Structure 1
Amino acid sequence: MITEHMWDKDEYFKFKERSVSGRYVTNEHIHNLLNSLGREFELDVLGHSVENRPIYGISIGHGPRRIFMWSQMHGNESTTTKAVLDLLNFLKKGSQGAEALLDKVTLKIIPILNPDGAFAYTRFNVNEVDLNRDAQERTQPESKVLRKTFEEFKPNFCFNLHDQRTIFNVGSVDCPATVSFLAPSFDEDRNNSDSRAIAMKVVAAMNEELQKHIPNQIGRFDDSFNPNCVGDAFQMEEVPTILFEAGHYQEDYERDKTREFIFYALHKAIYTIAFEQVNRYPLEDYFGIPENNKLFFDVLIENAHVVDKSLNENDCISILYKEILDNDTIKFMPTVAEKGFRPGYYFGHKIVDCLNVEDMKWLDSQKITELIN
């Protein structure tokens, strides 16, 4: 067995795909890269979206353990797509570690399942359907492509790759949920099964790795059952399925730091599966990951009575950024989320104090003061 790789930032940067960055990632951004991967990769068009954009599939490896992953089911959730591109770079470099993995596993990857939503930077497809709520009826062509690929590839594992909002924290503490995981439920009672337990153990392995890089910033997503969600549907068919949620890292609104941690998680998961290390990780380690909570705002304004006379002394105002597509760039527009709560109730990725002159200058520069007024 190949010794497990110990990742660091410098090593990761050898594989980071620098041609694709930021939040706006579409077929046009990845087309040339996919077509230059090399002969060891099999690139296919698995089908087309509502607006006839190609849905690409990439296959690599010749091992018996089959892993199926897909990203940008929600078009505006691109962080995991960037991490997948980094993973492809790692696999094509021909290192001893990459070759050892590819002897053990076969990967099938859909980098952008919802290319119309990616182009428009929306969660939904062009028919305004959430593809992650279309697992049973499969009314949309993108849903049919996903299901057909699942049935033909017959995976042993599924990775459902998403982004989550900046509002999520870990448990009850002031730590952003930079990465969250879930082994989805397969029934209303959230029972366990052999396949779900396997997924939980792979999550535990990834958590162990990520704690080295972002301690206390890994969360566990809510496991409420919904058979219309793809992860739940595949779990119902006894295929171990894992939900990945790429979240906020400090001052990383472009999510170009979070992609690094998703890359580490993907590598760890593939390694754990490839070398049959799953049972090294007890189920208790999965349940020891704190559940996500929703206690963060993008900006927390303290002593907000200075700028809003309707508030009491010491009251706070919270700001959330709305993501707007503008000339192929995502801009972050501040919006007021809540007013009139006390300090300590919520957390802020940025905290400003209206009694501080420099903080007031920042609020003015961001046009937040006039927004409040």
Structure 2
Amino acid sequence: MQLNYDEIKEGSVKGRYVTNNDIDPFINSISKYYKVQIEGTSVEGRAIKSITIGEGELKILMWSQMHGNESTTTKAVMDLMNFLQSNTNRSKSILNNCTIKIVPILNPDGAKAYTRVNANGVDLNRDAQERTQPESIVLKKVYEDFKPDYCFNLHDQRTIFNVGNTSKPATVSFLAPAHDPERSISKTRGISMQIIVAMNEELQKFIPGQVGRYDDGFNSNCVGDTFQMLNIPTILFESGHFPGDYDRESTRKYIFFAMLKAIEIISNKTIHQYKLDSYFDIPDNNKLYYDILIQNVQILNAEHKSESSAGILFVETLVDNRIEFKMKLEEIGDLDGKFGHKTYNCLDPNDLNEIKNQPDIVNLLD
């Protein structure tokens, strides 16, 4: 039976700004079905909660919002929890075979402030070895107590990423983190690659050409690399841009589809059916996108060189508990080979008039 995503999507939480206050009502509502516990507290004393689902022997640990301003996967894990409550044959099979532990917001202070770092200004994804921060200590303790067989490290990536050299945005990207500087393929890293191959095959049905492979440079201070070093198959999920979807409501759906596919092949013990080598067929991420690309800006402002272009990026800014996307002129010059999520050509009278009616753009280019 075909899954109807709209029926399981958690409608109470949407947009980019997601905090403990936003998800707590949902967590409280599911506490009658699942085990909810406080694993520890953040620098500023906010609760770091986990939800444990299922009773199977295969254990999957996943955590989201390690970076406080990366909330898409938090929404997706809420959708996943709704699916697992759906009492279908698919959900019952997973619950019988797997135990899933989810930390929906690891960095609640960063989530509240809408920052990548925690309240001490530390990037938790560079604190895996020293564990100087309470949030890092909580994650390691959860890992040690739960003893997972698989780890899902859930993140967002910026709108700048495209797939390979194409104009396709990297809506979803994956990585099987390295476990050594040589980036060799251990047994467990190979399993991570096979799971990613399965997720990529699934997503190509919905977003063909919009799945990328994240850079696998080794850094032992990163949590994914650390858990891979401990011989636990670990997968990095990166939620990216879908055209017109700055709230990442479409992207959350594709992350959910990917997570569900990964969990099902773990549950069904069918990982071996996917070819490890196909992992390397997934194109690398590239950074060829601007939010707005304006070509031939000399038509608008004669001070700019002939045939120059302007690349504008949005800066996500927290204003009155909502995110505003403020424009920043990132680059001006020859931007041949670059793409825009929105592109204007000043040689086109319609585009030129549209730009002139947007004072924010005109002021940037003055």
Say how many residue pairs are matched.
365
Matched, 1:352 2:336: no
Alignment partners' CA distance in 2, 1:311 and 1:372? 9
Q: 2:285 aligns with which of 260, 281, 292?
A: 292
Structure 2 residue runs without a partner (length 5+): none
How far is the alpha carbon of 1:307 from its aligned partner? 2.1
Structure 1 residue runs without a partner (length 5+): none
Alignment partners' CA distance in 2, 1:118 and 1:249? 22
Matched, 1:74 2:38: no
Alignment partners' CA distance in 2, 1:167 and 1:6? 33
The 3-state SS of whatever aligns with 2:337 is coil
* Counterparts of residues 236-255 of structure 1 (less than 5 Å): 236-255=229-248
Alignment partners' CA distance in 1, 2:12 and 2:354? 32
User: Which deviations, in whole Å up to 9, do the C-alpha atoms of 1:271-326 show, x marking residues without a partner?
Assistant: 01000110100111111100100001101101111123232222111000000001
How far is the alpha carbon of 1:59 from its aligned partner? 0.1
Q: 2:217 aligns with which of 213, 224, 239?
A: 224
User: Which deviations, in whole Å up to 9, do the C-alpha atoms of 1:177-214 show, x marking residues without a partner?
Assistant: 00000000000000010000000000000000000000
CA contact (8 A) 1:163 1:247 kept: yes
- 1:19 corresponds to: 12
CA contact (8 A) 1:74 1:131 kept: yes
Matched, 1:362 2:357: no
Q: Which segment is superposed worse, 18-27 or 37-46?
A: 37-46
Change (3 A) 1:355 1:112: same
User: Which deviations, in whole Å up to 9, do the C-alpha atoms of 1:77-133 show, x marking residues without a partner?
Assistant: 000000001001111122221111110100000000000000000000000000000
Percent identity over the alignment is 52
CA contact (8 A) 1:182 1:243 kept: yes
Change (3 A) 1:198 1:6: farther
Q: 2:169 aligns with which of 156, 176, 193?
A: 176
Alignment partners' CA distance in 1, 2:26 and 2:349? 48
Alignment partners' CA distance in 1, 2:117 and 2:359? 30
How large is the Cα RMSD of the aligned pairs?
1.0
* Counterparts of residues 112-127 of structure 1 (less than 5 Å): 112-127=105-120
**Amino acid corresponding to residue 84 of structure 2 in structure 1:** L
Alignment partners' CA distance in 1, 2:352 and 2:30? 50
Alignment partners' CA distance in 1, 2:12 and 2:173? 26
How far is the alpha carbon of 1:230 from its aligned partner? 0.1
- 1:147 corresponds to: 140
How far is the alpha carbon of 1:73 from its aligned partner? 0.1
| TM-score (ref. length: structure 2) | 0.98
* Counterparts of residues 184-333 of structure 1 (less than 5 Å): 184-333=177-326
Matched, 1:37 2:27: no
Q: Which segment is superposed worse, 301-310 or 59-68?
A: 301-310
Alignment partners' CA distance in 1, 2:17 and 2:138? 23
How far is the alpha carbon of 1:240 from its aligned partner? 0.2
Change (3 A) 1:267 1:335: same
How far is the alpha carbon of 1:247 from its aligned partner? 0.1
Alignment partners' CA distance in 1, 2:248 and 2:148? 29
